[in-house]
Structure 1
Amino acid sequence: MNRPKTPSRRTQTKPDWRLVIPLPMLEAGLLLAWSSGFIGARFSLDYAPVWLVVFWRCVLVSLVLFPFVIKPLLQTPRTVLLKNAGIGLLAMAGYLAGITQGIALGVPAGLAALFADLLPMGLALLTAGVLGQRLAWPVWVGLVIGLIGVALVTQGALAWGNAPIWAYSLPLLGMLSLAVATLWQKSLAPSQRMGLLPNLWLQCAVSGLAFAMAQGAQGSLAPIPGTGFALSVLWTAGLSTIGGYGLYWLCLRRTTATRVTSLLYLSPPITMLWAWAMFDEPLSWQLAVGMATSGIGIWMVVRTEARDALPSHNPATSPPGKSA
């Protein structure tokens, strides 16, 4: 009689690489990739209009990702596509449009960057004021200290320009657009969430349409022949979009929105280090002091949220065989 074959080894499922990579490594990559966007924007200003570069970076990302996402996109319900498309418009088109258009109207780049760096505070205010979620007082203190560090770093770049008064609200609105998109993304039910690459493709596709209309109203959508324009698009598409936004959404799936956005307080000093390495811009003592100050604030936020995330001692959750 033939005995049924018994597998000698248990079937092992392949671990999810997103959970295998330590969160601090993902956050370090996020800081580098997010900061690269400001460097890419500065580099591209010498070769093409801002709207043209962001349009083609969206086109390039959409073309590269399309073969990998077409199947899951066809299997996604229409309502899920619409919700994630709305998040993409706020997170990418709204954020980039507010900051770049403000600079184009005369808002100094340093001041626009400072408004963009208010994201952790804006998110915390929306969380507390709109959603009614309480944040521990050390988190608020950490956010304020981190903001002071950002102000120290960007102090030398802050100045009032000749832009219309209303133009100064555009970078602030761009920051709030990303904050709303972040909260919307975090509040989605698991059944309403898309995979990382399909979601990124959808965001680039809808944002590309928005940037096409903005650039089309001012000039041609044709790419500008030349190495400078090509490098600008490649840099911002690869590092800033796939790297920056991809790691941003990935980190949000692993931890809280407050922790992820507070890390972006380190984006200004890292951006200045990029500028020093690439454009030979001088460094100052304010950079080191501001970076250290922001680091203290971020440490307070991360430490408090990690402590609050620890499960409370509950007899019902005690391991079998151990009394409470």
Structure 2
Amino acid sequence: MPQQILSLLIAAGFVVCWSSGFVGGRLASALDTPVLSLFAWRFLLAALLVALWCRWRLGEAPRASDMRREMAVGSLTMGGYLLGVIVAIDLGVSTSVTALVTALQPLLAAALAGPLLGERLRPRGWLGMVIATLGVALCVADDMQQPLAAPWWAYLLPLLSVISVTLGSVLAVRQATAMPLSAALLAQLLAAAGIFLLAALVVEGGKLSPPTLEPSFLAAIGWLVVLSSLGGYGFFIASLRRLGVTLTSALVHLTPGVTLLWAAAMFGERLGPTGLVGMVLAGVGAGLAIRYVRRSGPTPRDRDARRVPRTWSAGETPDAAHRVPSRASQS
């Protein structure tokens, strides 16, 4: 498969599956099972499925050091990110406000990726990020209907989620491992499962609410496991490895609009004119940012392949890496 088409498929899969998490959250909100227990079961089931796949396909266990690195990444990008979002919503912060705050993640990622990874945006790329953020704000404004009734400190939790997922993304690229995608996903799912299991036990008095066989529970858990966990975080890891932190984060700008399309198709929610304008702005801004991060290109600092983004091999120049597949990607 041509490398550009593969990158496009990974980017599209990431946007669609990452957006599915918000729909899964809505399905889960209608259940009687406490949300922390539900997410603990979600990650435990997803980890079990990936473990069975790894056992069948890989045969040998990955190195303990690589597992520790990937678990550290998962504790930030999965556990810390989702825990902050879920607790904030549970305390009364509206989903729209939470989505607006988490939409700041691409800007923070672009700011950190330059000095830490060499992934620099040109001025037009930053303009694209700002336009995309404005588009996301319009999408969210179109959906904001609930009064703000949460305590003031609850609004800091989505911001902590943004910091958590950004630091995890940088760590995933800066301390890249050679683990297969499925093994890396397993390590990250186990870390997230541990975080939510501990949180559920603390909040629910040392007990974990058991799963049920009700159709609504099975539908919600199936959606969250297949699309949001395996699909969303599988494509997230693949996108970080192939596209880098800045490009992956720019794609996050497209997820609110896609989420609104999910909601319109599944729940009959109609997009207002403000939401439509926001979707267009988010798409234009994200496209501009993606274009100019490719032109400026991440620049390897040294020849240590474990310390640079895996978007090209350590001996290539950025321009050459975007023109032809790297030898590392062909091996």
Shift of 1:20: 8.3
Counterparts of 2:159 and 2:2 in 1: how far apart (Å)? Answer: 32
Shift of 1:311: 5.2
Q: Is the 8 A contact 1:92 1:207 kept in 2?
A: yes
Match of 2:42 among 46, 57, 66: 57
Letter in 2 for 1:36: S
Counterparts of 1:152 and 1:21 in 2: how far apart (Å)? Answer: 31
Shift of 1:73: 8.3
Q: Which residue of 1 aligns with 2:311?
A: none
Counterparts of 1:55 and 1:289 in 2: how far apart (Å)? Answer: 37
Counterparts of 2:167 and 2:264 in 1: how far apart (Å)? Answer: 33
Residue 84 (1) aligns with residue 70 (2): yes
Q: Which residue of 1 aligns with 2:196?
A: 211
The alignment partner of 1:282 has SS state of: coil
Q: Is the 8 A contact 1:40 1:235 kept in 2?
A: yes
Instruction: Say what the alpha-carbon RMSD is for the aligned residues.
Output: 2.3
User: Taking structure 1 as the reference length, what is the TM-score of the superposition?
Assistant: 0.84
**CA distances 1:164-192 after superposition (whole Å, capped 9, x unpaired):** 21111101111111110000011124xx3
Residue 300 (1) aligns with residue 288 (2): yes
Change (3 A) 1:31 1:131: closer
Shift of 1:227: 0.9
State the identity as a percent: 32
Shift of 1:216: 2.0
Q: Which residue of 2 aligns with 1:40?
A: 24
The alignment partner of 2:253 has SS state of: helix
Structure 1 or 2, whichever has the larger Rg, is: 1
The number of equivalent residue pairs is 295
Q: Which residue of 2 aligns with 1:106?
A: 92
**CA distances 1:130-188 after superposition (whole Å, capped 9, x unpaired):** 66865321121111010000011111334662212111110111111111000001112
Letter in 2 for 1:205: L
Q: Is the 8 A contact 1:212 1:221 kept in 2?
A: no
Change (3 A) 1:18 1:62: farther
Change (3 A) 1:180 1:312: closer
Q: Which residue of 2 aligns with 1:187?
A: 174
Letter in 1 for 2:141: Q
Change (3 A) 1:151 1:20: closer
Q: Is the 8 A contact 2:136 2:256 kept in 1?
A: yes
Q: 5+ residue gaps in structure 1?
A: 1-16, 314-324
Counterparts of 1:298 and 1:268 in 2: how far apart (Å)? Answer: 12
Counterpart mapping for 1:164-203 below 5 A: 164-189=151-176, 192-203=177-188
Q: Is the 8 A contact 1:127 1:133 kept in 2?
A: yes
Q: Is the 8 A contact 2:103 2:253 kept in 1?
A: yes
Shift of 1:67: 2.2
Counterparts of 1:216 and 1:178 in 2: how far apart (Å)? Answer: 23
Q: 5+ residue gaps in structure 2?
A: 298-316, 321-331
The alignment partner of 1:224 has SS state of: coil
Q: Is the 8 A contact 1:73 1:198 kept in 2?
A: no
Which region of structure 1 is more displaced relative to structure 2, 284-293 or 37-46?
Answer: 284-293
Match of 1:25 among 3, 6, 9: 9
Change (3 A) 1:165 1:193: farther
Counterparts of 1:307 and 1:132 in 2: how far apart (Å)? Answer: 13
Counterparts of 1:207 and 1:73 in 2: how far apart (Å)? Answer: 24
**CA distances 1:227-264 after superposition (whole Å, capped 9, x unpaired):** 11111110000000111110111112211211111111
Letter in 2 for 1:284: G
The alignment partner of 1:22 has SS state of: helix
Counterparts of 2:53 and 2:117 in 1: how far apart (Å)? Answer: 36
Which region of structure 1 is more displaced relative to structure 2, 277-286 or 130-139?
Answer: 130-139
Counterpart mapping for 1:5-20 below 5 A: none
Counterparts of 1:169 and 1:283 in 2: how far apart (Å)? Answer: 28
Q: Is the 8 A contact 2:7 2:242 kept in 1?
A: yes
Counterparts of 1:164 and 1:79 in 2: how far apart (Å)? Answer: 41
Q: Is the 8 A contact 1:88 1:203 kept in 2?
A: yes
Q: Is the 8 A contact 2:139 2:257 kept in 1?
A: yes
Q: Is the 8 A contact 1:111 1:157 kept in 2?
A: no
